[in-house]
Amino acid sequence: MKKIILASALAIAGISGNVQANNFNYNYLEVRTAIGPEMTGVEFSTLFTDNSHFIVRVDSQFDSDYDLAGGIGFNGPVNQFVDVYGQLLIHQVKLTEEAGGDSNTQAEFNIGLRAWLTNQVEATGRLGRNDDSSVFHAGVRFHSTEQLSLSAETRNNGLYGPQVTMSVRFQY
Beta bridge partners of 136: 127, 156
Average model confidence (pLDDT) for the chain? 90
Q: Where are the domains of the chain?
A: 28-171
C-alpha 25/C-alpha 84 separation (Å) is: 13
- Structure confidence by residue, pLDDT tens digits, 62-100: 999 999 999 999 999 999 999 999 999 999 999 888 878
The strand ranges marked E within the chain are 28-35, 39-49, 52-60, 66-77, 82-94, 103-116, 121-130, 133-143, 148-156, 163-171
Domain 28-171: state its class: mainly beta
Taking the chain, what is the end-to-end CA distance rounded to the nearest angstrom? 37
- Structure confidence by residue, pLDDT tens digits, 101-113: 889 999 999 999 9
